[in-house]
Amino acid sequence: MLRTNILLLIIVLVSFLSCTVRAKVSYDGRSFIINGQRKILISGSIHYPRSTPEMWPDLIQKAKDGGLDVIQTYVFWNVHEPSPGKYNFEGRGDIVRFLKLVKAAGLYAHLRIGPYICAEWNFGGFPVWLKYVPGMEFRTDNGPFKAAMQGFVTKIVNLMKSENLFEPQGGPIIMSQIENEYGPVEWEIGAPGKAYTKWAAQMAVAQNTGVPWVMCMQDDDAPDPVIDACNGFYCEGFVPNKPYKPKMFTEIWTGWYTQYGGPNLHRPAEDLAYAVARFIQNNGSFFNYYMYHGGTNFGRTASGLFVATSYDYDAPIDEYGLLNEPKWGHLRDLHKAIKQCEPAMVSTYPTVIWLGKNQEAHVFKSRSGACAAFLSNYDPTYSVRVSFQNLPYDLPPWSVSILPDCKTVVYNTAKVNSPSSEPLMTPVGGKLSWQSYTDETPSADDSDVLVMNGLWEQLNVTRDSSDYLWYLTDVNIASNEGFLKSGQDPLFTVMSAGHALHVFINGQLSGTVYGSLDNPKLTYSSNVKLRAGVNKISLLSVAVGLANVGVHFETWNTGVLGPITLKGLNEGTRDLTKQRWTYKVGLKGEAQSLHTVTGSASVEWAEGSLLANKQPLTWYKTTFDAPPGNDPIALDMGSMGKGEVWVNGQSIGRHWPANIANGNCGGCNYAGTFSEKKCQMHCGKPSQRWYHVPRSWLQPSGNLLVVFEEWGGDSTWLYLVKRTR
């Protein structure tokens, strides 16, 4: 009796154990294995803070309909821990809700915890306070950094565990990521970088999540069992650092991000499908579209330097949540073809057969008799007829044909069957009726300024509580200065580390300069009108996001660091760099919360004939009713300069339509190697003209729209549009 019971117990235990073993996510050189099943996994990035919770279910459903198995997202540290130990998981930061929606849709998740994420996100995802922890050095073998990183990773892993979100717990997360694109940094900094990589991998693995960890762009030394992975436009040639790791493509770039001053980029669907097909015919087992839905950098979340508010990325789902056709449909068809090949593919490695000078067949023949073939033509110019297993096949240039039974072509990457759908922006709701309020230029004698001699680094003073920092000083001009008589105005020169600068002399805007994508530094140099006596110099230094990438990007400076000189005085050149400077963080209107209903009611607004027009430092406000229907809504900011926009107190982002796209818009052929220099669009037009206003931020009527304009725009032409495709 006892013996039978023990036997039974053993049987129960063994079956339980084998169950949990099967439930674990594992891998080998061919593929990931989930619940005992080998998979070719198709994934797409959707970043939860780049859309609203109300948009999430639809985005995830569209990803599922597009044939995705996995949703990949970064975890955004500076969203979740805005000040040390104070956590936020609400609203667009509700990562648990996002992952539960992924699960509800029947999809898996790849959670890229980082916590360094790059992502064109402010400070690469790091909270600004992290920089000011004593002894801090980012992303190296540094005690304070490692302690903070481990703290945050543990916080996120524990949150996921407590919500049962890892796959062995029945959740959607089948893999996580530690660090991000660290290989190039390690290569530059050497030994401390190597030590840090080892530590990061060990720290991650010790979290015991029950799912594999990935390090992308960690080519040589991703420590076991962490999987190294490839990011790029193409990754077919990538080989994992160990033969028992699956070949992963963590970021296949579906397009590119927009920077203010840069063009919009388009990656043709044919080339994107071609890159995927080439990757999986060469042993690839997981690929992820970066981005599948790019979304919006709301508020001040866009990184330096000059990353635009739109993060559309030319992704298969556009910024507004609409299908970007034919890209979305062409990829859906590709995914169907891949899934038809999956049984043959996962059970074997391909045999490569030479078909011609630039043509190959990759054939997957399983022992059970399944057969799938990929026929490729790498030639960017010529169509080729090839013979495969005694049958003729025509291959367009730069294309791959997929034959799930080794006979029938179900898909060719260069043959697009989905109709295209150009976006339309149609004005809705008519002309808006505006009021204006002019912000103040502060002066060095104001009571609420910080007195700090010399020039100070901007972030150190603002801690990123605002984009804006005023540098204020007085310049005394003696009545016997020669220029007062000769009319030869002195030359005023200001050197700044970036990113934009407005120079006011005695309250009058005397000039604006800004850095460029390649060089955020700027120099203002102009002859200025000064009078005898005290002259008020007010420099408004403007940050456009903090750097998100580069070796020790935490040490990069922002703001006016000098020298500042005045040339052409009796004494020759006067150096103002070391004299008394005072500081004011932010604008008066920011302190008054003019973007909110209560704040905007606290000041007198001008209207009608008194409405400010094309004036710097001007706030505009109006109210509007939600346009009927469900089409996504945007603001046409084409007549404005630079600043920030809020709807019902929520920031829809920095606007900068006055920054015109510079580029080489010389047409776009899908064939041939793609890069971010190819297929540029919108040259000579604003880098970003339209700004997404999420529907869920609107009430039926009386929505408050507030615009802060630095340069001086014409609000008459600022109106609502709806987007359709």
Comparing C-alpha atoms, which of 355, 586, 578 is closest to residue 464? 586
Go through 403-436 and write b for each residue having 16 or more CB atoms within 10 A of its CB, e for each that does not: bbebeebebbbbebebeebebeeeebeeebebbb
How far apart (Å, rounded) are the C-alpha atoms in residues 687 and 658? 8
Closer residue to ligand NAG in complex, CB, 99/230: 230
Closer residue to ligand NAG in complex, CB, 281/301: 281
Residues 62/63/68/70 CA torsion (nearest 10 deg): -140
Closer residue to ligand NAG in complex, CB, 349/382: 349
Closer residue to ligand NAG in complex, CB, 89/349: 349
Chain residues that interact with ligand NAG, rule: CB under 6 A? 29, 243, 282-283, 349-350, 352, 456-457, 460
How far apart (Å, rounded) are the C-alpha atoms in residues 460 and 502? 20
The minimum distance between CB 282 and ligand NAG, in angstroms, equals 4
Helices H, strands E: what count in the chain? 14, 39
Closer residue to ligand NAG in complex, CB, 351/383: 351
The minimum distance between CB 283 and ligand NAG, in angstroms, equals 4
Closer residue to ligand NAG in complex, CB, 350/638: 350
What are the residues whose beta carbons fall under 8 Å from the beta carbon of 597, sequence distance 6 or more?
648, 649, 704
How far apart (Å, rounded) are the C-alpha atoms in residues 291 and 653? 20
The string of DSSP codes covering 418-453 is: SPP---EEEE-S-----EEEEPP---TT-TTPEE-S
Closer residue to ligand NAG in complex, CB, 131/536: 131
The string of DSSP codes covering 557-584 is: --S----EEEEEETTEEEE-TTS--EEE
How far apart (Å, rounded) are the C-alpha atoms in residues 558 and 496? 8
**Would residue 81 show up in a list of annotated catalytic residues for this protein?**
no
The minimum distance between CB 581 and ligand NAG, in angstroms, equals 12
CA end-to-end distance (rounded Å), the chain: 73
Q: How many CB atoms lie within 10 A of CB 572?
A: 8
The minimum distance between CB 457 and ligand NAG, in angstroms, equals 4
Comparing C-alpha atoms, which of 290, 148, 273, 274 is closest to residue 216? 290
164: its two tokens = 């049962």
User: In three state form, how does the secondary structure of 668-702 look?
Assistant: CCCCCCCCCCCCEECCCCECCCEEEECHHHCCCCC
Comparing C-alpha atoms, which of 177, 397, 178, 364 is closest to residue 281? 364
User: In three state form, how does the secondary structure of 132-191 look?
Assistant: CCCCCCCCCCCHHHHHHHHHHHHHHHHHHHHCCCEHHHCCCEEEEEECCCCHHHHHHHCH
Read off the DSSP letter of residue 304.
B
How far apart (Å, rounded) are the C-alpha atoms in residues 655 and 69? 35
Q: How many CA atoms lie within 13 A of 670 on its CB side?
A: 19
The minimum distance between CB 516 and ligand NAG, in angstroms, equals 24
How far apart (Å, rounded) are the C-alpha atoms in residues 392 and 411? 16
Residues 155, 90: contact at Cβ < 8 Å?
no
**Would residue 181 show up in a list of annotated catalytic residues for this protein?**
yes
The minimum distance between CB 456 and ligand NAG, in angstroms, equals 5
Comparing C-alpha atoms, which of 80, 142, 140, 68 is closest to residue 105? 68
The minimum distance between CB 383 and ligand NAG, in angstroms, equals 24
**Secondary structure (3-state) at 403:** strand
Closer residue to ligand NAG in complex, CB, 37/555: 555
Residue 328, exposed/middle/buried by CB under 10 A (0-12, 13-18, 19+)?
buried
Comparing C-alpha atoms, which of 320, 321, 310 is closest to residue 259? 310
Residues 479/480/481/487 CA torsion (nearest 10 deg): 80
The minimum distance between CB 392 and ligand NAG, in angstroms, equals 24
Closer residue to ligand NAG in complex, CB, 135/608: 135
283: its two tokens = 């042993």
What are the residues whose beta carbons fall under 8 Å from the beta carbon of 498, sequence distance 6 or more?
304, 305, 514, 515, 520, 521, 522, 543, 544, 558, 559
How far apart (Å, rounded) are the C-alpha atoms in residues 51 and 46? 9
From 81, 120, 167, 181, the catalytic residue:
181
Closer residue to ligand NAG in complex, CB, 238/524: 238
The minimum distance between CB 229 and ligand NAG, in angstroms, equals 15
Closer residue to ligand NAG in complex, CB, 135/430: 135
Instruction: Please give the C-alpha separations between residue 382 and each of 268, 286, 358, 378, 385, in angstroms, as whole numbers.
Output: 18, 30, 10, 9, 10
The minimum distance between CB 358 and ligand NAG, in angstroms, equals 16
* Residue whose structure tokens are 């990931």: 32
The minimum distance between CB 241 and ligand NAG, in angstroms, equals 12
The minimum distance between CB 540 and ligand NAG, in angstroms, equals 19
How far apart (Å, rounded) are the C-alpha atoms in residues 697 and 693? 7
Closer residue to ligand NAG in complex, CB, 282/435: 282
Closer residue to ligand NAG in complex, CB, 282/443: 282
From 167, 251, 554, 709, the catalytic residue:
251
The minimum distance between CB 29 and ligand NAG, in angstroms, equals 5
Catalytic site positions = 181, 251
